[in-house]
Each structure stands twice: as structure tokens, then as C-alpha cells.
């Protein structure tokens, strides 16, 4: 694409006669369709690579994105290798309620005497696991419902909107409490998927709106006129145009799923047999860590969780600025 001097976004760089340009910033696919490119047929693919380049160019210069991703990378490292580099086994006990020291960076629990740092290293993994499960399941459901509603419209749209609005009205945590209260054996998979199954409505709403606007664009009409099947258009034309948006949605879902899981674990309703960050705070609270001033049992784990989520939120803003040229100027 030629250097874009227009403030409104990428335009088609060639005057196409009175057929005119689309008013909205045109997606690159249009160039190839409206006018067979004279200088080699692959304008669209050239622009694709250009775009990718531009993305990387702006991405590495975006401070928010780099800081967010940097912090997140550290935690991902911990999540993968944490249990392996943990100094002690979680069952091993020391003096109860030891203050943080070089031997025990986050001290030990009271009255059990377990090493908090080692527990925490494992907890990051458990929290991430549930976060990913929640984000993926909520994302998949939200995308499917949103696409279907936005693409088909009509009664299906009405029905799916009703479904979405009903799920919105059901308070997630309360619903989960009622459902899991009767279960004695719970897995991380159950918790993650459940968070997803109740957390998708806003994704569906947003995707539905996006699909509606994209559907109205010329290039989709062209695809449709050429007799392609709906699923093929959704997957090949609409989804790629929404790819950046979908990515942002996943980042946010990841963050919110982890937060829901913390609440959940804190109430003692998390997966049985694991020690997530929420579990640690739950135990600390139950064993009167506050009154006994064993602050190292609950402050560092929660602070780490906050940092993990802040990093995701900042990554999200940074990515948004990279994807959306309008926000770049600041």
C-alpha cells in the first residue's frame, strides 16, 4: 500500500473511475477484485505481507505491548517450569509461620510450615490452566453464537440473542456455586469449561455486531455473488478481517477467567487436589493468617495474580493501538 496520507485509514490507491471508492476504509481484498492489478496479479498478497510487516513494526515500538508481554512471558515461564524449579516439595514442612527469608522467599504457612514460594510457583500454573480453559471455551461459544446470529439474522438471531441475554442475567459465580456445591470431586477442566460456558455473552454480542458490519461490506457481497457457501465466506473472508479483534477478545477472556477462578477457589469450590492462588488465599483466610500477621501467605500470591491480570490488560491496550491505526498517534 502506498504511504497513507489520508487520516481516515487505508484507501484504495488507484482511482477506479466513477464506480468510486467505498466510503469505509476498504479491506485489501477489494483492490484485487475491483481492478485487475496491472503490475503483477498479487496486489492482495503483497498487501498482506506489508500489513504483517507494519504490524510487527508498530508492535515492537509499542511500550505497553512490550511491557505487558514481557511480564506475561515471565509468568508463562513460571507456569511451565515453576514446579520443576520449586525449591521444595509442597508436602515438605518447616518451622510454622517463618518470615520471608532467603531460604523461604515468601515465608512458610502457619501452622503447617509449608514453603509459600514453592506453593505459589505451582499455583501460577493452576491459575493459568483454568484461565486458558475458560478463555478458549468462552471464546469458542461466543464466536459461534455471535457469527451465527450476525450472519443468519432473522429468527435464529432473535433466538440466540435471547439465549445470550438470559445467560447475561444469570450471575456467574452464584450459578457456579449452586452447581458445584453438590459436587465433591471437581477437576480444573470442569472449572475452566464452566467459567467459559457462563462467560461468553459479551463476546457473542460483540462478534454479532462486527459480523453485521462486515457482512454489509462489498467484498462479502462479491463473494456471495460468486456463489460461495456461507461457511466458506465466514471462515475465509469475515474471520480473517476480525482476526485482530478476536485476538483482543481472547486476551480479555483469559484475564477475566483467571479472576473468576480466584473467587471460586477462594470459596473452596475450585478443583480438588490442586493449590491455586485462590486456594492459597482461602487457606490463609481460614487459618487466621490475618490475625496472626502471616501476611506473606496471602499478599504475595494475590499481588502476583493482580500483576498477571494487569499485564494482560496492558497487552490488550497495546495490541489495540497496534491493530487500530487511529489510536497510534498517542
The x, y and z cell numbers of residue 275, run together, are 493449590
Name the minimum Å distance from CB 290 to other proteins: 5
Q: What are phi and psi of 172, to 5 degrees?
A: -50, -55
Q: What are phi and psi of 93, to 5 degrees?
A: -115, 150
Which of the residues 304 through 323 are near other proteins (CB under 8 A)?
A: 305-307, 309-310, 312-314
Q: What does the alpha-carbon distance between residue 146 and residue 179 come to, in Å, rounded to a whole number?
A: 26
Contact letters (x/-) for other proteins, 284-303, by CB under 8 A? Answer: xx----xx-x-x--xx-xxx
Decide if residue 42 touches other proteins (CB under 8 A).
no
Contacting other proteins (CB under 8 A), which of 84, 95, 154, 181? 181
Q: Which stretch binds other proteins (CB under 8 A): 107-115, 141-149, 167-175, 223-231?
A: 167-175
Decide if residue 278 touches other proteins (CB under 8 A).
yes
Which of the residues 185 through 214 are near other proteins (CB under 8 A)?
A: 201-202
Name the minimum Å distance from CB 43 to other proteins: 10
Q: What are phi and psi of 16, to 5 degrees?
A: -105, 25
Decide if residue 48 touches other proteins (CB under 8 A).
no
Name the minimum Å distance from CB 23 to other proteins: 4
Tally Cβ neighbours within 10 Å of residue 239: 15
Contacting other proteins (CB under 8 A), which of 42, 101, 183, 187? 183
The x, y and z cell numbers of residue 184, run together, are 465433591
For residue 78, count CB atoms less than 10 angstroms from its CB and return exposed for 0-12, middle for 13-18, buried for 19 or more.
buried
Decide if residue 253 touches other proteins (CB under 8 A).
no
Query: Could you report how far apart the first and last alpha carbons of the chain are, in Å?
Result: 23
Amino acid at each position: 500500500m502506498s504511504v497513507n496520507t489520508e487520516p481516515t485509514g487505508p484507501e484504495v490507491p488507484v482511482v477506479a473511475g466513477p464506480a468510486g471508492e467505498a466510503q469505509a476504509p476498504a479491506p485489501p481484498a477489494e483492490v484485487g477484485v475491483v481492478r485487475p492489478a496491472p503490475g503483477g496479479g498479487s496486489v492482495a498478497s503483497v498487501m498482506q505481507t506489508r500489513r504483517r510487516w507494519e504490524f510487527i513494526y508498530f508492535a515492537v515500538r509499542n511500550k505497553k505491548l512490550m511491557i505487558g508481554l514481557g511480564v506475561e512471558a515471565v509468568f508463562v515461564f513460571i507456569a511451565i517450569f515453576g514446579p520443576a524449579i520449586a525449591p521444595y516439595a509442597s508436602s515438605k514442612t518447616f518451622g510454622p509461620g517463618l518470615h520471608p527469608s532467603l531460604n523461604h522467599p515468601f515465608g512458610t504457612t502457619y501452622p503447617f510450615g509449608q514453603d509459600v514460594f514453592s506453593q505459589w510457583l505451582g499455583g501460577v500454573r493452576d491459575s493459568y490452566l483454568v484461565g486458558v480453559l475458560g478463555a478458549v471455551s468462552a471464546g469458542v461459544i461466543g464466536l459461534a453464537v455471535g457469527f451465527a446470529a450476525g450472519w443468519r439474522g432473522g429468527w435464529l438471531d432473535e433466538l440466540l440473542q435471547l439465549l445470550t441475554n438470559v445467560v447475561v442475567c444469570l450471575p456467574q459465580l452464584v450459578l457456579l456455586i449452586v452447581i458445584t456445591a453438590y459436587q465433591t470431586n471437581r477437576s480444573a477442566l470442569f472449572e475452566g469449561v464452566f467459567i467459559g460456558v457462563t462467560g461468553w455473552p459479551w463476546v457473542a454480542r460483540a462478534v454479532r455486531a462486527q459480523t453485521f458490519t462486515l457482512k454489509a461490506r462489498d467484498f462479502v457481497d462479491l463473494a456471495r455473488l460468486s456463489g460461495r457457501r456461507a461457511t466458506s465466506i465466514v471462515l475465509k473472508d469475515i474471520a480473517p478481517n476480525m482476526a485482530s479483534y478476536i485476538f483482543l477478545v481472547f486476551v480479555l477472556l483469559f484475564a477475566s477467567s483467571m479472576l473468576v477462578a480466584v473467587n471460586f477457589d477462594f470459596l473452596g469450590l475450585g478443583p480438588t487436589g490442586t493449590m491455586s492462588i485462590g486456594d492459597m488465599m482461602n487457606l490463609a483466610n481460614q487459618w487466621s493468617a490475618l490475625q496472626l500477621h502471616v501476611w506473606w501467605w496471602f499478599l504475595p500470591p494475590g499481588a502476583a495474580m493482580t500483576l498477571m491480570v494487569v499485564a494482560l490488560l496492558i497487552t490488550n491496550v497495546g495490541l489495540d493501538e497496534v491493530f487500530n491505526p487511529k489510536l497510534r498517534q498517542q
